[in-house]
């Protein structure tokens, strides 16, 4: 047949043959916790079709290990590795730069890239996928969300036929570890120190506890699940640092616990998304996720709820996802193209809320609060006040019926003007 060009990937034999002609040559960029775990799997398991040939890291001498084959070239020269004959760059350094530059250069040279870099994919994934397609390479990032849980392959291969309208999940293992320990009575500062000691949290934990890590992951899931390309900066995260022991006490009274939740949903033609601590019913699967586990629930128009759960953090689970992407490349697997359109994001949900106040008690406080809520047509569901606290530092909780987030924020702005507060009121969405 004339006029038809068939291109064959350089590491595959002709289309009529199914066996690999030669292994993919693999270069790992970043030999930290995940990078060393990927190398371990490649060396010890020797997956068919994969050949580790290069390891790049700055100040490479401090990273060398004695268990890699003598054929592996250790280098601190990124340019040399990118210019070599490797087929796939495994980028595990993280961040936007210089990792983004390495990824672009590799793709521009026709190489494929496997990465766990959620920040890069959230901000530039569409652009990088187009570059890969134009140059004949592939970009795979199954490890960028939920570590070793196959959430992204599940979306691309298992749920692409559905119309997903809602994503809700626990996407940060560090926050889940902290909050599940606080649920058992521990204090925030002590649990954070333990998380840092175990390597779950960085010395500066802001990326995790501030919600920025989960925000990047949610943006990726929104593109693949809701088919909406969003700017992660439009999603306003809330930190878990305001949550205290008294909130878990009141949450239990309400049949709930507290978790850092990333959620996005399509309502009509609008997309709403948020990340932050929320009350979760104890009967919800999200309440069962403890320690560093992750969980994601997709709600489809035809398939209903689908739950992904497992170890979302740590070097070995994440390395499994990276090697799985490499094997998919080696055996000719291609991504399912999921079209997505640019979309704006709002924070407008219509859900119940939990409001915890700490006040210097005086007559009329509840009446004032009720008035400010009534002005925004917000109905109170319950008022909870546990005994045993001093009147000059009295914590109590108001829960409200489902209302728009914007209306509640207007009411809270008025409530904050009251002269009785001993601390900033805490507002948490209640996930129902």
Our answer to whether residue 140 is catalytic in this structure is no
What's the CATH fold of domain 151-311+337-342? Dihydrodipicolinate Reductase; domain 2 (3.30.360)
What's the pLDDT score for residue 110? 97
How do residues 269-288 score in pLDDT, each as one tens digit? 789 999 999 999 999 999 99
Model confidence at 8, in pLDDT bands (50, 70, 90)?
very low
The Cβ of residue 48 has, within 10 Å, a number of other Cβ atoms equal to: 11
Q: Which CATH architecture has domain 24-140?
A: 3-Layer(aba) Sandwich (3.40)
How do residues 349-372 score in pLDDT, each as one tens digit? 999 999 999 999 999 999 999 999
Contact residues for 111 (Cβ-Cβ < 8 A; gap 6+): 82, 86, 87, 88, 89, 137
Structural contact between residues 370 and 380, judged by C-beta atoms closer than 8 angstroms: yes
Q: What is the DSSP letter of 421?
A: B
Tokens found for residue 98? 């210089």
The active-site residue, picked from 118, 119, 140, 217, is 217
Whole-angstrom distance, CA of residue 354 vs CA of residue 333: 47
Whole-angstrom distance, CA of residue 204 vs CA of residue 184: 24
Q: DSSP alpha helices (H): ranges in 275-419?
A: 285-288, 315-330, 365-375, 405-415
Burial class (CB in 10 A: 0-12, 13-18, 19+), 69: exposed
**Is pLDDT at 7 greater than 70 in this prediction?**
no
Asked whether the whole model's pTM tops 0.95, one would answer no
Compute the C-alpha angle 142/271/255, nearest 5°: 80
Q: What is the DSSP letter of 24?
A: E
Tokens found for residue 113? 């890239």
Over residues 217-235, the mean pLDDT reads 96
Query: Pick the residue with more confidence: 311 or 217?
Result: 217
Whole-angstrom distance, CA of residue 256 vs CA of residue 249: 9
Share of the chain above pLDDT 70, in %: 95
Tokens found for residue 188? 């925030």
Domain ranges across the chain: 24-140, 151-311+337-342, 350-431
Query: Would you say domain 350-431 falls under CATH 3.40.50.261?
Result: no
What's the pLDDT score for residue 267? 81
């Amino acid at each position: 047949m004339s006029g038809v060009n068939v291109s064959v990937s350089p590491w595959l034999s002709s289309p009529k043959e199914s066996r690999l002609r030669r292994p993919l040559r693999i270069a790992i960029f970043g030999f930290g916790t995940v990078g060393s775990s990927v190398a371990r799997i490649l060396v010890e398991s020797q997956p068919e079709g994969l050949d580790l040939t290069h390891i790049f890291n700055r100040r490479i001498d401090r990273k060398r290990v004695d268990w890699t084959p003598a054929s592996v070239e250790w280098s601190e020269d990124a340019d040399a590795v990118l210019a070599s004959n490797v087929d796939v760059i495994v980028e595990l350094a993280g961040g936007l730069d210089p990792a983004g530059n390495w990824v672009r250069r590799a793709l521009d040279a026709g190489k494929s890239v496997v990465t766990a870099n959620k920040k890069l994919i959230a901000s530039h994934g569409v652009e990088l996928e187009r570059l890969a397609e134009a140059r004949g390479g592939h970009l795979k990032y199954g490890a960028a969300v939920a570590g070793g849980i196959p959430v992204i392959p599940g979306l691309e291969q298992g749920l692409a036929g559905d119309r997903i309208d809602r994503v809700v999940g626990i996407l940060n293992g560090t926050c889940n570890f902290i909050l599940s320990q606080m649920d058992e009575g521990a204090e925030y500062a002590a649990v954070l120190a333990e998380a840092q000691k175990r390597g779950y949290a960085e010395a500066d934990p802001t990326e995790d506890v501030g919600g920025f890590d989960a925000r990047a992951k949610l943006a990726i899931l929104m593109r693949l699940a809701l088919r909406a390309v969003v700017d992660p900066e439009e999603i306003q995260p809330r930190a878990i640092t305001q949550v205290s022991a008294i909130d878990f006490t009141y949450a239990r009274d309400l049949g709930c616990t507290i978790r850092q939740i990333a959620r996005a949903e399509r309502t009509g033609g609008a997309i709403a998304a948020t990340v932050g601590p929320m009350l979760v019913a104890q009967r919800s699967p999200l309440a069962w996720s403890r320690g560093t586990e992750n969980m994601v629930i997709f709600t489809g128009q035809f398939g209903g709820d689908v739950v992904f759960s497992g170890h979302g953090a740590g070097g070995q689970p994440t390395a499994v996802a990276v090697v799985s992407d490499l094997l998919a490349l080696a055996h000719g697997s291609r991504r399912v193209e999921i079209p997505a359109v640019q979309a704006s994001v709002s924070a407008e949900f219509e859900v119940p809320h939990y409001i915890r106040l700490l006040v210097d008690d005086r007559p009329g406080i509840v009446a004032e609060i009720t008035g400010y809520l009534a002005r925004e047509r917000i109905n109170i569901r319950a008022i909870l006040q546990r005994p045993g606290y001093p009147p000059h530092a009295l914590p109590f909780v108001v829960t409200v019926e489902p209302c728009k987030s914007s209306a509640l924020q207007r009411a809270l702005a008025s409530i904050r003007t009251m002269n009785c507060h001993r601390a900033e009121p805490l507002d948490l969405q209640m996930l129902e």
